[in-house]
Amino acid sequence: MSMSFLPEDMNWICRPCGVKLQPSTVELSYLGSVFSVELPACPQCGAVLISEELATGRMLQVEQLLEDK
Amino acid sequence: MDQKELREWESRCIQEEPPACTAGCPLGVDARAFVQAMVQGDMQTARRILEKTMPLIGITARICEAPCENFCLRKDLGGSIAVGLLERSCISSAPRQGKILCLPSRGKKTGVLGGGPSSLVAAFDLAKKGYAVTLISSTSPGGWLSDMPSTVIPPEILAEELAVLEKMGVWFESATTLTPDVLAEVRTRCQTVYIGHDGELDTELCNLLANVAPETMALPEEGLFTGGIADAEHLWRYITSVAQGRAAALSMDRHMQGVSLTAARPRPRHGHTDLFTSLKDVNPKARIIPSTENDNYSPDEARQEAERCINCQCLECVRHCVYLQEFGSYPKVYSRRVYNNEAIVKGTHQTNTFINSCSLCGQCEILCPHDFSMATLCLEARQRMVEENRMPPSAHAFALDEMRAALSSQFELVRMAPGHQSSSAIFFPGCQLAAVRPDQTIALYHHLRAQWRDTGIWIGCCGAPAHWAGRKTEFREIGEQFLQSWRKLGSPRVLTCCSSCLQMFRKQLPEVDAQSVWSITAPPLNAAAPAKQLPLALTDPCTARNDKATQAAVRRLIADLGQELADLPLSGELTECCGYGGLMDNANPELTRKVLENRVSQTSADFLTYCIMCREQLARTGRPVLHILDLLFPETARSAEEAPLGISTRRANRRALKIRLQEEYFGERISPPEEWQGISLKIASELLPILEKRRILTDDIRQVLWLTEQSGRYFEHQSRGIRLTSARLGEVFFWLEYVLNGNEYLLQKAWSHRMVPAKVTK
């Protein structure tokens, strides 16, 4: 799952940091597996944005795959 | 599950037992598959099936006396399937399909004396097994087959089969007469010798063939075997001879390999099989008589005759169960899949979803002639998965969360009757009735108290979801907790509306005197079925399958109310689950939808039930469904057309019911609500079904928003005026997209995931 999942709309500001989210390397972990992906995150506090499309699409598929392992 | 347990499970499912025709065939021909290919008019496949087990196919298919027909289950329903005629039809229409494959040479020689059919078959089988066969006959090979009318066995067919034997390596020799001297000579060069009774043997040689062992066809003298012991008057002359030839060839093979002739030898079945085939819906249909003079079927006649085949299968459970159909096989195979699933160390456990999709309803066990219980198989597999920490975390998460909430102090309420210091009985409506029908729960409580003033009330949960999810420890702890509270109440009778609660109490807590409310209740005076109400289809909850007393009590109540019932064949002990049981709906919502569609397709009548989850589940199909409380308490009756309640409404109802009971009945001071409950929230109506599908509660949403208020952390869109926030509640991350209007949150989107994100700091 080493891919980029940046939403089309990247115009999000992190509050209270007041900084625009930037494409960042994020580790997604579940049931002992770790994947490195590119996601929007706050460069200051590190808060990560998981879009609806990602959560209900590819991420759900991977979760289900891992749950069957 | 270990191998021994697997064998035990497998042995209970008899679907792989042979059909009666195959069991009745001394050669073990798969007549069922053959006839099914004939139904399709697929002569090639049909012939291929015969070639698998039938020796000298050109002859056997033409003159086999078809003892299989004697065992055919069609026998008394229009006459047995004419397998013999169909074989003739096939053999004359399709050429040989495959090459006869012989094993590599074993470097051992064997002899066959006599040219009768049994000798030819013994030679055929031994050559296939890789032995060098010498066949010695005094007449031309074929014996009495050569005397058959050419319309039955054309001479060229016999010649063709002999050529096949030759091609397989059988060496033909001739002798003037077959005498003991010839035998003695053959013994010098062959390890074993077969002597065919149906060949032309001289009297002295014949005298050597006494005292044959019927199972192995071995003669007392080591290395000698015989067969073909059927005279011209014998009803099954051909098939008996060739079956003996085959049995002898098997023994000769074993003898030459130095292994026991009898150990683990397949026993002739003589038509016996454990395969159960229901003839309930099989109508008599007369056998097709060939219209042509030569007594052969035309292709059309052959197909029509084949179509009469019942295609014997058990599949009693699969026929009725959408879940068993969904995964494409039957319990014997399923038990193997469960076993294999556990054996996998690495790789995908493809059976997890299968194991978690069973409603544990127990219908299969009732239908199965050998009481195979998918419920036990799946429940035990779930328990092992939990114990070994292999249960997929999301499989039952929502139901377990619901259960734990119902058991928490926010929702649970246990009280003696108002003004009483002891209770002889306690009303335990069940967690879902309290959540779906709070008004009726109170009405029923009133009604019970009118009969027994000291009846207390217990709004809680029996722990069934923990049991269904395979969580033995949690279920046991819930039971222990229940017992503690119950003893504090003075161990009263427990009156419940819920068949699942009743089942759990009776199985797990036998010291609790648990009774069904329906079996002790008389209708209130003002209760009656609405005038002109059409007959209703009563669906029994699956957890009441074996509770005949409750089933009968409910029917008496319904009769007292003047409500007529429509026919619903799968009810009582054969009833079907609504998909809530066993947490099927949690693990496999799509399958639940199919189960429900199937259930409502069984009747055109509206439904009536006495389980609130059956009512809510069946109502999802759009079919009107009443709960028995709608008839018992007309003043609180809900419309049969009412849509099922959503998960958030159920939870809110449960909370409100506790407060109402505390205030109205017990005059208690209500503890202040949690701070997050004060969040002002508005949800767009189009979002509601999505929240339902994603199992996101308004409670979850309020908690996330409250946490956001506390932390002051969220994302704000640069231009669209929307905000995005998330928080982890338990194992789940919830995300909300909303607009904040004053202090009111207008929710626009919500989603969730379980993967844990962490930004990599560089």
Q: State whether residue B393 sits within 8 Å of chain A by CB.
A: yes
Domain ranges of chain A: 13-67
Region A23-35: what's the mean pLDDT? 93
> How far, CA to CA in Å, does B696 sit from each of B353, B372, B587?
22, 38, 16
Average pLDDT, whole number, for chain B? 94
Per-residue pLDDT band at B339 (split at 50, 70, 90): very high
pLDDT in tens, B138-161: 988 999 999 999 989 999 999 999
Question: Could you count the other beta carbons within 10 Å of the beta carbon of residue B648?
Answer: 19
Contact A30 B756 (CB under 8 A): yes
Strands of B565-566's sheet in order across: B565-566, B536-539, B607-609, B625-627
Q: State whether residue B758 sits within 8 Å of chain A by CB.
A: yes
Q: B694: which chain A residues are within 8 Å (Cβ-Cβ)?
A: 56
The Cα angle at residue B72 between residues B69 and B74, in degrees rounded to 5: 115
Please tell me the distance in Å from A5's CA to the nearest CA on chain B: 13
Q: B715: which chain A residues are within 8 Å (Cβ-Cβ)?
A: 12-15, 21, 47, 49
Per-residue pLDDT band at A3 (split at 50, 70, 90): confident
Question: Could you count the other beta carbons within 10 Å of the beta carbon of residue B395?
Answer: 24
pLDDT at B346: 63
Q: State whether residue B395 sits within 8 Å of chain A by CB.
A: yes
Residue B704 above 90 pLDDT? yes
Contact B716 A12 (CB under 8 A): yes
Of A14, A28, A68, the CB nearest to B348: A68
Helix (H) or strand (E) holding B495: strand B493-496
Of B349, B714, B760, the CB nearest to A25: B760
Reference B619, options B646, B637, B641, B598; nearest CA is B641
**Phi, psi dihedral angles at B234 (to 5 degrees):** -65, 130
A interface with B, Cβ–Cβ < 8 A, is 9, 11-16, 20-21, 24-31, 36, 39, 41-42, 45-50, 52, 55-56, 59-60, 62-65, 67-69
**Phi, psi dihedral angles at B627 (to 5 degrees):** -100, 150
Rounded to an integer, what distance in angstroms lies between the CA atom of residue B196 and that of residue B99?
A: 27
Please tell me the distance in Å from B81's CA to the nearest CA on chain A: 47
Contact A50 B757 (CB under 8 A): yes
Per-residue pLDDT band at B469 (split at 50, 70, 90): very high
Give the amino acid at B514: A
Of B694, B718, B755, the CB nearest to A28: B755
Of B347, B393, B753, the CB nearest to A55: B753
CATH superfamily of B15-98+305-314: Alpha-helical ferredoxin (1.10.1060.10)
Q: A21: which chain B residues are within 8 Å (Cβ-Cβ)?
A: 715
Region B659-686: what's the mean pLDDT? 92
- Domain B109-257 in CATH 3.50.50.60? The answer is yes
Residue A1 above 70 pLDDT? no
pLDDT in tens, B413-451: 999 999 899 899 999 999 999 999 999 999 999 999 999
Helix (H, G, I), strand (E, B) or coil at B717: strand
Contact A13 B756 (CB under 8 A): no
pLDDT in tens, B33-85: 999 999 999 999 999 999 999 999 999 999 999 999 999 999 999 999 999 99
Contact A69 B348 (CB under 8 A): yes
Of B392, B715, B737, the CB nearest to A67: B392
- Residue where the block lists tokens 């209970």: B12
- Domain A13-67 in CATH 3.10.20? The answer is yes
Burial (CB < 10 A; 0-12, 13-18, 19+), residue B689, is exposed
| ipTM of the complex, rounded to two decimals | 0.97
pLDDT at B50: 96
Contact A12 B713 (CB under 8 A): no
pLDDT in tens, B635-670: 999 999 999 999 999 999 999 999 999 998 899 988
Please tell me the distance in Å from A65's CA to the nearest CA on chain B: 8
Would you state the structure tokens that stand for residue A64, as one six-digit string? 């289900």
**Phi, psi dihedral angles at B147 (to 5 degrees):** -85, -5
Reference B426, options B451, B454, B407, B399; nearest CA is B454
> Taking a C-beta distance cutoff of 8 angstroms, is the pair B14, B275 a contact?
yes
pLDDT at B345: 66
Q: B353: which chain A residues are within 8 Å (Cβ-Cβ)?
A: 68
Domain B675-753, CATH among 3.30.70, 3.30.2310, 1.10.1660, 1.10.40: 3.30.2310
Q: A45: which chain B residues are within 8 Å (Cβ-Cβ)?
A: 713
Region A35-43: what's the mean pLDDT? 94
Reference B255, options B193, B171, B206, B196; nearest CA is B193
pLDDT at B532: 63
